């Protein structure tokens, strides 16, 4: 049976289990494993207050090759000082022993509540019981979730090779990454430097164009592992097209699954002076709390759009600017022509509801 998730590319295995981090008893420990060494690329949060596993993985990814990603949910291992770094390294060390690979070939991530030490006895025991299999992708996707309401997975057949991805994220979502993890696998043959360049560009056009609540997380990361097992070395442009498609799909699904959300907001900006200003305007509109509330109430209020754009430094012609709001059952399209040029951009967000307040008011309780 053809795999449809993170294990769809040749040579990738995955798994997820519950090791007791989450009080709910839901899965909270995951692994992605490559049967052969893969090149790795990564993009990390721009937040200055980075979590321990982010700091560790920023060093680990400098290795020439990577074999695995170990990830836990329910505890972010952030604000945990020196011990947090030691615990992230212990996760790496334990995974290296279990999967019989070099510890330098493992990336580590955590997501969940900030400021609490990891329950390392549960995590170490969990890693020792963790199995990576070809049909374990769905369990892996489930085990990285926090306030998400559903898994986010995709596999793209590129004709000779495959690009697959899995992501988590629902709150603390804002450009320059979010409280999100995204893991991408491919069996294409590609150089590490090229993979890093293409990933950075894809992230700029996808994950950095979504917002749920304008709160930037401490634990964001996007990783790509390419193990070359298909034997296909694709053209750079062709690979990028597939990579961006995977990233955009997962980014949109994160916005759609925003905490308490009932509507995906799609913002289309045109008439900008250049692409940079088009993106700035699109992000400003998508991130406007007043606009998000208007979408929730299906309040046709173009003033929310004009105010959001006007508060930025982008060039606009007040006499030519045009806007519209198109409400659907589950999606709302926001259109804004700045009247200042020909550049376009698209951003994604979600409405603001009582559900968002409830989730975050009760987050620790």
**Nearest by Cα to 180 from 132, 256, 251:** 251
Rounded Cα–Cα distance for residues 318 and 335 (Å): 15
Rounded Cα–Cα distance for residues 110 and 22 (Å): 13
Per-residue tokens: 206: 């996808």
Residues that constitute the known binding site for substrate: 146, 168, 179, 259, 360, 365
Rounded Cα–Cα distance for residues 101 and 137 (Å): 20
Residues that constitute the known binding site: 146, 168, 179, 259, 360, 365
Rounded Cα–Cα distance for residues 303 and 290 (Å): 10
Question: Tokens 């990336």 correspond to what residue?
Answer: 107
Rounded Cα–Cα distance for residues 296 and 311 (Å): 22
Burial readout 241-255 (b: 16 or more C-beta within 10 A, e: otherwise): bbbbbbbbbbbbbbb
> Can you spell out the DSSP letters for 145-206?
-SS-SS-EEEEEE-SSSEEEEEEE-SSSB-SS-BS-EEEEEE-S---HHHHHHHHHHHHHTT
Of these residues, 179, 185, 186, 353, which one is catalytic? 179
Burial readout 153-192 (b: 16 or more C-beta within 10 A, e: otherwise): bbbbebeebbbbbbbbbbbbbbbbbbbbbbbbbbbbbbeb
**Nearest by Cα to 308 from 248, 251, 265, 342:** 265
Active-site residue, 111 included: no
Annotated active-site positions, please?
A: 179
């Amino acid at each position: 049976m053809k795999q449809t998730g993170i294990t769809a590319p040749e040579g990738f295995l995955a798994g997820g289990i519950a090791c007791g981090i989450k009080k709910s008893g839901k899965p909270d420990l995951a692994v992605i494993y490559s049967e052969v060494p893969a090149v790795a690329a990564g993009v990390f949060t721009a937040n200055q207050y980075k979590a321990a596993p982010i700091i560790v993985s920023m060093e680990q990814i400098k290795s020439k090759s990577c074999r695995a990603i170990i990830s836990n949910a329910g505890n972010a291992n952030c604000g945990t000082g020196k011990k947090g770094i030691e615990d992230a390294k212990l996760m790496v060390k334990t995974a290296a022993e279990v999967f019989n690979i070099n510890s330098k070939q493992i990336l580590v991530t955590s997501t969940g509540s900030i400021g609490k030490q990891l329950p390392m006895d549960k995590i170490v025991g969990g890693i020792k019981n963790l199995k990576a299999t070809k049909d374990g992708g769905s369990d892996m996707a489930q085990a990285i979730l926090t306030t998400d309401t559903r898994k986010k997975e995709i596999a793209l057949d590129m004709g000779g090779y495959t690009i697959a991805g899995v992501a988590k994220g629902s709150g603390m979502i804002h450009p320059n990454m979010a409280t999100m993890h995204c893991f991408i696998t491919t069996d294409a043959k590609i150089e590490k430097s090229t993979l890093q360049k293409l990933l950075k560009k894809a992230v700029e056009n996808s994950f950095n164009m979504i917002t749920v609540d304008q709160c930037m997380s401490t634990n964001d990361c996007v990783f790509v592992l390419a193990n070359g097992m298909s034997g296909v070395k694709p053209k750079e442009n062709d690979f990028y097209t597939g990579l961006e498609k995977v990233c955009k799909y997962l980014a949109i699904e994160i916005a759609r699954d925003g905490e308490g959300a009932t509507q995906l907001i799609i913002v289309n900006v045109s008439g900008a002076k250049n692409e940079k200003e088009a993106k700035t305007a699109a992000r400003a509109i998508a991130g406007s709390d007043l606009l998000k509330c208007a979408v929730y109430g299906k309040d046709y209020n173009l003033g929310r759009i004009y105010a959001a754009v006007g508060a930025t430094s982008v060039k606009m012609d007040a006499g030519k600017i045009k806007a519209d709001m198109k409400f659907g059952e589950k999606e709302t399209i926001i259109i804004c022509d700045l009247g200042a040029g020909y550049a376009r951009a698209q951003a994604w967000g979600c409405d603001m509801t009582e559900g968002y307040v409830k989730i975050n008011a009760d987050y620790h309780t």
